[in-house]
Amino acid sequence: MKKYTTGITVLDSSLGGGIPAGSLVLLVEKPGAGAEIISFQFAVEGVKKGESVLYVTTDETSENLLNYIKLYFPDFNVNENFQLISFISNVTSDAKNFIKSSMHDPLGFTRKVLATSKYDRIVINNLNNLIRNYGENEVISLFEELSRKVKNDESVALAILVEGATESRIENTLKAIADGILELDVQERKRDSEKTQNNKAEEMHGSKERVQVRHN
């Protein structure tokens, strides 16, 4: 089975070489745990490998999102393999330029893109804003569509959910739809106030391992 590497060595090792094709992964984070950075790494890794990547941001403009990616990955260059959709500016960015769109329904536009185009990697950052703006039924429906798409295309999707920012029953529904879950939390050590990011990686086979990534 094909696997998609995340670009994070310790996480790929925990997952047995990467995320299996056909998987919808829910990245659940405590506020400030760094899920967005992991999503950047996941997208950049795909572009480096020549894979097609769709990145959907629900809380940043296209320009800001690209600036954030380049802050962490200065060598990243947008090319024909990378497409960015922003719900804030209603702008979609492809390899050559920013294409301003007059769409009034970003969610509907995103669904159309997903239905008519094929990508190796898809990122949704984040689900909480979608739920607030569109309601749980619309987002759950989108999540189910995404699950079917990655299985049909043998691709991978990563969706961020901030823990505690949405009703627990909705979180549980999204977790039930997902094929795998990555849970991130930040713990502060009392002795040296060093923050340690703990990633609990739930593999596609159901077993769980703990992976630690330190931030300086």
Q: CA separation (Å) from 84 to 8, 93, 109, 125?
A: 22, 5, 12, 11
Q: Angle at the Cα of 155 (from 154 to 157), degrees rounded to 5? A: 140
Q: Angle at the Cα of 152 (from 155 to 200), degrees rounded to 5? A: 45
Confidence of residue 1 (pLDDT cuts 50, 70, 90): confident
Residue 161 has pLDDT above 60, yes or no: yes
Q: Which of 7-11, 94-98, 173-177 has the lowest mean pLDDT?
A: 94-98
Whole-model pTM: value is: 0.83
Which token pair is 54? 């769709």
How many independent structural domains does the chain possess?
Answer: 1
* Whole-number pLDDT of residue 198: 52
* Whole-number pLDDT of residue 210: 37
Confidence of residue 207 (pLDDT cuts 50, 70, 90): very low
| More confident of the two residues 97 and 25 | 25
Residue 29 has pLDDT above 70, yes or no: yes
For residues 14 and 209, is the Cβ–Cβ distance under 8 A? yes
Residue 172 buriedness (CB in 10 A; 0-12 / 13-18 / 19+): exposed
Which token pair is 163? 């823990």
Per-residue pLDDT tens digits for 192-204: 434 444 554 444 4
Q: What is the mean pLDDT of the chain?
A: 83
Question: How would you classify the pairing of strands 98-100 and 91-93?
Answer: antiparallel
Kindly state the percentage of the chain with pLDDT values over 90: 69
For the segment 153-170, the average pLDDT, to the nearest whole number, is 95
For the segment 73-91, the average pLDDT, to the nearest whole number, is 86
What residue numbers bound the domain in which 26 lies? 3-214
Q: Return the residue matching tokens 């029953």.
A: 169
Tell me, what CATH number does 126's domain have?
3.40.50.300
Per-residue pLDDT tens digits for 95-126: 333 333 435 688 999 999 999 999 999 999 99
